[in-house]
């Protein structure tokens, strides 16, 4: 049985990734910030013994360290660490507009890029003790500089580009140990990044999660390259 850690599981893609991994037979350690809609308890009852719930706030280093201590009490190894949790931040500001709030950009980078780095750092000993040693960062097509089409979304796009570079660095550490990192764009999802459920989006979180997990499993059958695979939910490569 694999042990999988997923962050941000109280809603959206993370919840679906955790539920599908449980259905597939994995043991799941699911982190959440605030299970507002009480969706995790029923999952814990349904998969009793295979789901552990751990509070984790990405913006708080002490909180991440405490979550990691709790996870180390629960397991001696992690096969797959999936950094899923993230925020959108301000997507309206463009250069030259007033007012400009650089702190808003910094906050998005702090949550989306530094948060996952802290989580990976704190869980490193467990990850390299796992069989798969697989780091999955849920990135976005918005992190691709090579196919950028936007003229705003500064915090989000910069944070995902940073998350991608972070995975490239960690991949170099994992490769000689038999592990690897992957970066996945999960599609345009009817999740809650915009506040309310985004009904305009293309995929329900469950559909996206199913495709994401299949694409990851397919990639895992191919040898790891010098850089992390960066691909979308259909398994298509994205330019860096």
Ligand X SMILES: NC(=O)c1ccc[n+]([C@@H]2O[C@H](COP(=O)([O-])OP(=O)(O)OC[C@H]3O[C@@H](n4cnc5c(N)ncnc54)[C@H](OP(=O)(O)O)[C@@H]3O)[C@@H](O)[C@H]2O)c1
Q: Where along the sequence are the contacts to ligand X (CB under 6 A)?
A: 8, 10-14, 33-34, 56-59, 84-87, 111, 138, 140, 185-186, 188-189, 191-193, 201
Q: Which is nearer to ligand X, 131 or 150 (CB)?
A: 150
Distances (CA, A) of 17 to 24, 37, 57, 145: 10, 17, 19, 27
Closest among 119, 144, 157, 109 to 238, alpha carbons compared? 144
Shorter beta-carbon distance to ligand X: residue 77 or 207: 207
Q: Which residues, including other chains, have CB under 8 Å from residue 49's CB and lie 6 or more apart?
A: none
Closer Cβ to ligand X, 76 or 202, answer by number: 202
Residue showing the smallest CB distance to ligand X in the complex? 12
Quote the least distance from Cβ 162 to ligand X, whole Å. 12
Tell the smallest beta-carbon distance from residue 96 to ligand X (Å): 26
Q: Which is nearer to ligand X, 57 or 229 (CB)?
A: 57
Rounded to a whole number of angstroms, the minimum distance from the CB of residue 62 to ligand X is 13
> Nearest-CA neighbor of 120 among 209, 54, 181, 52?
181
Sequence-separated (6 or more) residues with CB below 8 Å from residue 127: 77, 78, 81, 120, 133, 135, 174, 179
> Of 115, 97, 108, 80, whose CA–CA distance to 2 is shortest?
80
**Residue 92 C-beta: closest distance to ligand X, Å:** 17
**Based on CB atoms, which residue is closest to ligand X, 128 or 193?**
193
- How many Cβ atoms from other residues are within 10 Å of residue 91's Cβ? 17
Strands 134-138 and 229-232: unpaired
**What is the phi/psi pair of residue 190, to 5°?**
-80, 70
Q: How is 96-134 classified by DSSP, letter by letter?
A: T-SS--HHHHHHHHIIIIIHHHHHHHHTHHHHHHSSS-E
Question: Least distance in Å: CB of 202 to ligand X?
Answer: 8
DSSP tally for the chain: helices H, then strands E: 8, 7
Q: How far is the CB of 5 from ligand X (least distance, A)?
A: 13
Pick between residue 84 and residue 144 the one whose CB is nearest to ligand X.
84
| 134/142 with CB nearer ligand X | 142
Least Å distance, CB 17 to ligand X, is: 9
């Amino acid at each position: 049985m694999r042990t999988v850690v997923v962050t941000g599981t109280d809603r959206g893609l993370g919840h679906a990734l955790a539920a599908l991994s449980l259905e597939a037979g994995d043991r799941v350690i699911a982190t959440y910030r605030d299970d507002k809609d009480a969706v995790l308890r029923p999952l814990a009852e349904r998969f009793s013994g295979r789901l552990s719930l751990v509070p984790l706030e990405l913006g708080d280093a002490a909180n991440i360290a405490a979550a990691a201590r709790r996870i180390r009490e629960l397991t001696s190894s992690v096969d797959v660490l999936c950094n899923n949790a993230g925020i959108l931040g301000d997507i309206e500001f463009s250069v030259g507009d007033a007012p400009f709030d650089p702190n808003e950009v910094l906050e998005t980078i702090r949550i989306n890029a530094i948060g996952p780095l802290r989580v990976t750092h704190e869980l490193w000993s467990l990850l390299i003790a796992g069989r798969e040693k697989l780091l999955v960062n849920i990135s976005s097509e918005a992190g691709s500089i090579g196919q950028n089409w936007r003229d705003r979304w500064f915090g989000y796009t910069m944070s995902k580009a940073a998350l991608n570079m972070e995975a490239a660095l960690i991949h170099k550490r994992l490769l000689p140990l038999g592990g690897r990192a992957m970066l996945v764009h999960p599609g345009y999802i009817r999740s809650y990044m915009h506040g309310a459920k985004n009904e305009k989006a293309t995929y329900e979180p469950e559909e996206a999660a199913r495709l994401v997990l299949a694409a990851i499993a397919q990639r895992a059958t191919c040898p790891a390259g010098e850089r992390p695979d960066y691909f979308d939910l259909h398994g298509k490569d994205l330019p860096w």
